[in-house]
Each structure stands twice: as structure tokens, then as C-alpha cells.
Amino acid sequence: MNITLDEIQAPIAQEMREFEIKFRQSMRSKVLLLDKIMSYIVKRKGKQMRPMFVFFSANLFAGGISDATYRGAALIELLHTATLVHDDVVDDANYRRGFFSVNALWKNKIAVLVGDYLLSKGLLLSLHNNDFELLKIVSNAVREMSEGELLQIEKARRLDITEEVYFDIIRQKTASLIASCCAVGAASAGADLTHIEKARLFGEKVGIAFQIKDDLFDYGTAEIGKPVGIDIKEKKMTLPLIYALQQASWLTKRQMIYNVKNNNGKSQVVAKVIDFVKSSGGLEYAISLMHQFANEALEILHTFEPSPSRTSLEQLIRFTIERDK
């Protein structure tokens, strides 16, 4: 895909610049150490896809982008950043998007407190402005993300994840956040509950396609930020592997599960699992389902009136499944 995120973002470029200023302001603190850490977090911002989904979704409706839209986007960024800071502590991760994590620079105790601070800032931002519907949407997403993570940890111990459980996990862990972005955008524009739910479902479909694409990167389909085979090394059961195991004989399945459980980071063992998945059609199966969810998202999107924002959301779907990182 030749189009870039900057080009997709063009119709709301001004709003995104304003949002960045407002978001920086929402993270300010009178505590020097905290302010220093907040500044560090802001400088490491990623693709900004979440605010884009919020603003484009708001523009699908007559109410359009309002002050509530900015607050909703900030709420999502604050709560999501809090979960990332806490995740790095849980995973004992020293890096996030190629930069040192907060816990690597300031240790775990400070990182946990920073995550708590971000969470409280998001809650207060909504409460001070009576954005109860937005807070309800985002809080529900954070609950689902936590449940999905815990479900994955529970299942990883036995490596007994079925395709049904896999989709439960990624719907909660990944898709719920993008779904909440779209629902918040709709709600901030004054949409009714039916249209808010339609926007949420659209985001959920995009989020599932996004996660399947991430799973495919583990098999060397592109040069990306994480090493090939990292999911296997971490004993994560993703869609290509689950499908390959479903097609395998009892003995082969047993051998491969043993390899995943006991790889200890050994490159040759991981390579054997990757070859097994590729030869079993796991990648083709995952790609077909990724396109299925992307097409379902497009079908929902096309029930809204044509507009520049609808076109940009179509481009975001294509970017999601065609990106190389």
C-alpha cells in the first residue's frame, strides 16, 4: 500500500495538531519527576491511530468533532498509556517502541505509580466534564483488555487455546480498544445508542484484523519491530499455529506443542515450528480470515453516508492489513 498515515490523516490534520497540544496539557503535573516522565512518554508517541479513529468516527455523524471528541481521545490515550506502562512492569520489559520503558529508566515502583497517575488523570478529565458515556465506554474497554490478558496467561500454561478462545482473547485484548475509539467518536458527536454500537462493532472488526496481521509478522512476512518467532518463544498461541495444529495428526500435534513448551528460546526449535505452520497452510488461513474481518468492517462502514472521513476510515482498514510493521 503506497498511502501513508500522514496522507490518511490529512482531513483532520488540524484537529490532530490541536489534540496533541491538549493531550500534553492533560498530562502536566506540579511534581517535577512526574512532569519529566510525562514529557518522556509524550515524545515516544506512536502512530496516533487511536485518536484518528476517534476523530474520523465523530465526523461520520452530523454533530461532528466537538470539545467532547478531544476529551474522549485524550481519555483513551491516558488510560491506554497507563495500561502500557503497567504492562512493561508485568512483562519486565526494558523497551517500548525502540525506546527505554518507564520502568527501565525509573524502576518498577515509579512506573506503577505513573500508571496510576495516568489512570486517575483520565478518570478526572471525564468526571470534571460530565463525560459519563465516554467514561463508561473506555472503562469497559480497559476491563476487557485486562480480562483478555488474564485469559491468555491462563491458557498459555497448558497451550490449549482453541480458535474460539483465541478470538475471545484478541477481541478483548486488542479489538476492544479500537472499538472504544470508534464508539467514543460516535458518542462525542451526539449519535444515538444504535449508531454508537454500530461504530463500536466496526472498530472491533478492524481491531481483530489488526491483531491477525500482527500474528502474521511472527512468521517473517515483513521486516518489523519485533524479532521473527518472538510469539513462539514466549509460548503465545496465535491463529496460524492454532490452525496448523488443528490440521496435524495426533503425534505431530503433540511434538509441536512440546517444541513450543520447551523451546527455551532455541532458534532451531522455533524455526521448526515456523516451518510446520507454513507447510500446514496456517499463514494462508490467517490471511483469509484477516481479509474476512476487514471486509465485514467495510460493510458496516458503508452503511454511513459517504464523506472524506468515511474514505479515510476505508484507507485505515487497508493500511491495517497491508502495513509492513
Q: How confident is the model at residue 224 (pLDDT cuts 50, 70, 90)?
A: very low
Cell 496539557 found at: 25
pLDDT recorded at residue 225: 44
Give whole-number Cα distances, 248 to 166, 218, 231, 253, 300, in Å: 18, 20, 20, 6, 36
Report d(CA 276, CA 108) in Å as an integer.
Answer: 39
Mean of the per-residue pLDDT values of the chain: 86
Q: pLDDT by residue (tens digit) across 110-150?
A: 889 888 888 888 899 899 999 999 999 999 998 999 899 88
Integer Cα distance of 42 and 27 in angstroms: 9
> Cβ distance 143 to 169 under 8 Å?
no
Mean pLDDT is highest, among 95-109, 154-168, 172-186, 227-241, for 172-186
- Closest by CA to 163, choosing from 250, 307, 264, 289, is 289
Give the pLDDT of residue 201.
Answer: 97
Listed residue (7, 182, 150, 20) closest to 83, CA to CA? 150
- pLDDT at position 22: 84
Task: Return the CATH class of domain 5-322.
Answer: mainly alpha
Greater confidence (29 vs 315) lies with 315
pLDDT in the model for residue 265 = 65
Q: Over the stretch 37-79, which tens digit does the pLDDT of each residue have?
A: 888 877 777 678 899 999 999 999 988 899 999 999 999 988 8
Question: How far apart, in Å, are the Cα atoms of 100 and each of 88, 90, 94, 105?
Answer: 10, 15, 6, 7
pLDDT at 315: 93
Rounded to 10 degrees, the C-alpha dihedral 69/74/75/79 comes to 150
Window from 181-185, 206-210, 231-235, 295-299 with minimum mean pLDDT: 231-235
